[in-house]
Structure 1
Amino acid sequence: MKLFYTLLLSTLFHLGFAQSADQYFEKIRNNEAALTAFFTQMPKGGDLHHHYSGSIYAEPLLAHAIAQDLYLNTQNMTVSPEKQIGADWVSFSTLQMNGELDTYKQKIMQKWSVKDYNNVDYPSDKLFFESFMKLEPALKDNFEAGLLELKNRAIKENLSYIETQLSPIPCAIKTDDLANYNTYLRKLVANKNEKAVMKSLDSLYSIFIKKDAKKYATDFNTNFVGKMHNELKIDDIQFTMRYQNFVLRFMEPVEIFKNLVVAFISADSSQLIAGVNIVSPEDGETSMKDYELHMLMFKYCHSRFPKVKYTLHAGELTLGLVRPEELSWHINAAVYTAGANRIGHGVDIAYEEKSYDLMRYMAKNKIPIEINLVSNEFILKVKENRHPILLYKEFEVPIIISTDDAGILRTNMTEQYVLLAKRYPIISYTDIKQFVYNSINYSFIQDTSVKKQLVQDLDNRFKTFEANFKN
């Protein structure tokens, strides 16, 4: 009789009964369709590495551009609210009248996103980063629709939180009279004179405060982020959103520092602004030349605003993209010099100097790594065992799974987890569940009660999800 019941339970298990979520997960991990269904329904916590401008799908942006009758450059698919010089600029209404609109719609989709990309005819990293410039005019005056799109998609995908990099803060403070600081700061960094760098930044900070930098931060917080967030009722029982300020790497030192000061003031004075970041291609000429200076700028701003959290794009590099020696220090500088609270991408960790010590430090000090599998594969061609996710896991660095730019990359959070399960059999359901909780626990939400509520909500969501496999 005992043997009979053992055989019966075994039969029921193989038929799909009396199994746990992790058992079912292991059974389907080589079946992409089954994994997609599983992860679509699984609670996914938060998306912490998220660019608003790259997360809106091209279709609604194109529809908005047509409705606003913007002008299209028919050669490079850039749009503009005003007709520019040259015969290549044509209004959408003219294209429609000439019967050419459908043809250009397809071309636009291929330049504003990775749709139909064939991995041959254009560098993938150029296509990705150039997309932002081309579609930017279609984003303006359309933030409300975009935020609602992101919220509604997140809810359908069982994502309860997004921490998005929404928009640069407009700041009209003129810096022409401070241009001499650009050369001087670079010279100080070249001479490894950190003390003098900090003194110069202190002088610039005083100038920007006197020029009313706080006014621009307050206006952004109140009349843009706060107004829009509250009027749209973004936060509710199902979903929460917070915002990261960001600065652009390719600007001259004085200009980027001005924007960084305003960004930190903004984050320090609003609970909706979760933190600060730095963006644009890390391998760009100015980005590479001024990388160490940028890290010192973050260190200085932290001394002024110690409560403000910041995550840094660091190590979004790979062999061949830059010289080998440039792969050895960017994450080190972001962690040790800038004091980043999280690291975005971190793809070149295996090339970093004393990488084992660096990862031990990140693990000990709870500095998570934001992993973006689809993004790293498309932009850097880094995937599977070339990707360092298992290296981070081995050294117990907290891992967070993110989308990066779901609209341009035409992906979603579910696909990140499907790739994770398919490519890395050593990563268990328990690991994945921890990654999900990490996305809330390591978020930059300032209000502890909001974070606590999101964790409790995640508990309830997982309880409901896992009950499916016990029935």
Structure 2
Amino acid sequence: MTRIITIFCFLITQIGFTQSAESYLEKIRNNEALLTAFFQQMPKGGDLHHHFSGSVYAEPLLERAIAQDFYLNIETMAVSKTKPANGNWQTFSSLKKDGKLDFYQQQIIQTWSAKDYNGSVPSDDLFFDSFMKFESTIAGHFAEGMLELKKRALAENVSYIETQLSTIPCDMSVSDLNDFNTKLRQASIQKDEKTVLKLLDELYKALQKKDAKKYAEDFNTNFLAKLHKDLKIDDERFTMRYQNFVLRFMEPVDLFKNLTIAFISSSESKLTAGVNIVSPEHGENSMKDYWLHMVMFKYCHSKFPDVKYTLHAGELTLGLVQPEELTWHINDAIYVAGANRIGHGVDIAYEANSYDLLKYMAKNNIPIEINLVSNEFILKVKENRHPFTLYKEFNVPIVISTDDAGILRSNMTEQYVLLAKRYPDVSYATIKQYVYNSINYSFIQDAGVKKQLIKDLDNRFKTFEAKFSKN
């Protein structure tokens, strides 16, 4: 870090800057080293599309598994704290004893992340499958990961992260409500929103009788608030908030149960920054129940109108799903669910009446979370095929995010390097606006915190741009 700063300052001194940061950026558009030095120092505000478990790098996770002598499946590279009944599992201590540890360490890193990716497996499979392989190293170790992310953010001048930290634990039995799965899906096939909302109302009342609120309160008080306070996450240089999220692949009743609890949690804690829905959008249940999920969000919004939510929508491309499936996901996320932000939005060019949809997003200030590295690796969408320019042309608010920097072996700086190099018509002033968007469109509930982050960003840019002043 110190060396990068020194090189950057040396370059500025040698050139004898009489120009602005804007004019310097134009000179270095095609030089990735100079762009990296520039954007490493530039204030980058917030990272609003951020998955906690996918943002921790594989190395510390592997170190933890080795130190605690986890079991390794030597065929899949998954790890487990206890030995599963099926599969070829060996402890790390036995691998070390047999002189095989170094060999497997390299394979593990390449399976848990995009390091040295060579196309031997589909990139989307490697990405989405990796989470389950290292999942057991995350449980009980949120603190270490949060501190790692804060340290990395500070090092590259990121002042805010809005992360999807953890699902809310819930052991509520809903087996007596399983009939709703069939009823909801039958109504969903007919796009019978009135019936779906009626069923959800019955289901919601049943969940209240099962004391859904206690799970939200326990999560807020005994996990989130305690962890955040004990680690002293917030300080004068950095702030973190947390999105609750649910998993797309679950059955409707289980998903709605978790969604209800997520909304209750977000309505009662200022540390939470809204609700999200995750998992591969092209998965079987994700596709089958997508419209139903959007109606669920609409229903929960009617109960908790102050809770904001961003939705993964349109993380699809031609070839990944049938062409007709590319035409409606962002539409439904906005018009049915009422999303406050959209994550990814890659299929926007294929969406029905896409121009009207883009105009609506612009008019109603619904930002798009752009994840350039992620979209390139998972979907193979980049450069002019990426819809970034389309969103920009229609003045949709844009924020730049990392998605899963650990798995993708990336960081926030790289997102801006790619942005500046691939899209030369994006000026420094526009990039700066994207940075401010990342705070202005965040879901921070405390207006005072957001105001302070903007003030801090003003000061950071003043310091950064002063580097370009003539001595």
Name the TM tier (shorter chain).
Answer: over 0.9
- Residue 65 of structure 2 aligns with which residue? 65
Inter-partner Cα distance in structure 1 for 2:128 and 2:195: 35
- Residue 77 of structure 2 aligns with which residue? 77
| Cα displacement string for residues 174-215 of structure 1 (whole angstroms, at most 9, x for unaligned residues) | 111111111110111112211111010011101111101110
Letter in 2 for 1:84: P
- The 10-residue stretch of structure 1 (254-263 or 12-21) with the greater mean CA deviation from structure 2: 12-21
Q: 1:15 to 1:236 in 2, by over 3 A?
A: closer
Letter in 2 for 1:395: F
Alpha-carbon offset, residue 285 of structure 1: 0.5
Map 1:229-240 onto structure 2 (within 5 A): 229-240=228-239
- Residue 249 of structure 2 aligns with which residue? 250
Letter in 1 for 2:55: S
Specify every segment of 5 or more residues in structure 1 that has no aligned partner in the other structure, as ranges: 1-11
Inter-partner Cα distance in structure 1 for 2:419 and 2:258: 36
2:22 is the counterpart of 1:22:
yes
- Residue 227 of structure 1 aligns with which residue? 226
- Residue 383 of structure 2 aligns with which residue? 384
2:52 is the counterpart of 1:52:
yes
- Residue 152 of structure 2 aligns with which residue? 153
- Residue 7 of structure 2 aligns with which residue? none
Letter in 2 for 1:263: A
- Residue 8 of structure 1 aligns with which residue? none
- Residue 209 of structure 2 aligns with which residue? 210
SS in 2 for 1:309: coil
- Residue 141 of structure 1 aligns with which residue? 140
Inter-partner Cα distance in structure 2 for 1:156 and 1:91: 35
Alpha-carbon offset, residue 98 of structure 1: 1.3
- Residue 332 of structure 1 aligns with which residue? 331
Inter-partner Cα distance in structure 2 for 1:86 and 1:274: 40
Alpha-carbon offset, residue 235 of structure 1: 0.0
Inter-partner Cα distance in structure 1 for 2:333 and 2:434: 22
- Cα RMSD over matched residues? 1.1
Map 1:250-289 onto structure 2 (within 5 A): 250-289=249-288
- Residue 416 of structure 1 aligns with which residue? 415
Letter in 2 for 1:260: L
Alpha-carbon offset, residue 15 of structure 1: 3.9
Inter-partner Cα distance in structure 1 for 2:351 and 2:90: 48
Runs of 4+ in 1 over 3 A off after TM superposition: 12-16
SS in 1 for 2:121: coil
Alpha-carbon offset, residue 87 of structure 1: 5.8
- Residue 124 of structure 2 aligns with which residue? 125
Specify every segment of 5 or more residues in structure 2 that has no aligned partner in the other structure, as ranges: 1-11
Letter in 2 for 1:452: K
- Percentage of identical aligned residues: 71
Alpha-carbon offset, residue 220 of structure 1: 0.5
- Residue 310 of structure 1 aligns with which residue? 309
Alpha-carbon offset, residue 93 of structure 1: 1.1
Inter-partner Cα distance in structure 2 for 1:152 and 1:226: 20
Letter in 1 for 2:97: M
SS in 1 for 2:49: strand
| Cα displacement string for residues 371-395 of structure 1 (whole angstroms, at most 9, x for unaligned residues) | 0000000000000000000100000
Letter in 2 for 1:412: N
| Cα displacement string for residues 130-173 of structure 1 (whole angstroms, at most 9, x for unaligned residues) | 00000100111111000000000000110000000000001111
Inter-partner Cα distance in structure 1 for 2:101 and 2:52: 27
Inter-partner Cα distance in structure 2 for 1:347 and 1:42: 27
Letter in 2 for 1:296: V
- Residue 6 of structure 1 aligns with which residue? none
Inter-partner Cα distance in structure 1 for 2:456 and 2:432: 14
Kindly indicate whether the alpha-carbon contact (under 8 Å) linking 1:296 and 1:338 is maintained by their aligned counterparts in 2.
yes
- Residue 370 of structure 2 aligns with which residue? 371
Inter-partner Cα distance in structure 2 for 1:400 and 1:216: 32
Inter-partner Cα distance in structure 2 for 1:250 and 1:84: 23
Letter in 2 for 1:151: K
Kindly indicate whether the alpha-carbon contact (under 8 Å) linking 1:13 and 1:19 is maintained by their aligned counterparts in 2.
no
- Residue 396 of structure 1 aligns with which residue? 395
Letter in 1 for 2:225: G
Letter in 2 for 1:66: I
SS in 1 for 2:418: helix
SS in 2 for 1:297: helix
Inter-partner Cα distance in structure 2 for 1:465 and 1:118: 38
Letter in 2 for 1:180: D
Inter-partner Cα distance in structure 1 for 2:267 and 2:341: 18
| Cα displacement string for residues 221-258 of structure 1 (whole angstroms, at most 9, x for unaligned residues) | 11111100000000000000000000000000000000
Inter-partner Cα distance in structure 2 for 1:372 and 1:117: 19
SS in 1 for 2:198: helix
Inter-partner Cα distance in structure 1 for 2:247 and 2:87: 31
Inter-partner Cα distance in structure 1 for 2:348 and 2:417: 23
- Residue 301 of structure 1 aligns with which residue? 300
| Cα displacement string for residues 302-353 of structure 1 (whole angstroms, at most 9, x for unaligned residues) | 0000000000000000000000000000000000000000000000000000
Q: How many residues align?
A: 459
- Residue 7 of structure 1 aligns with which residue? none
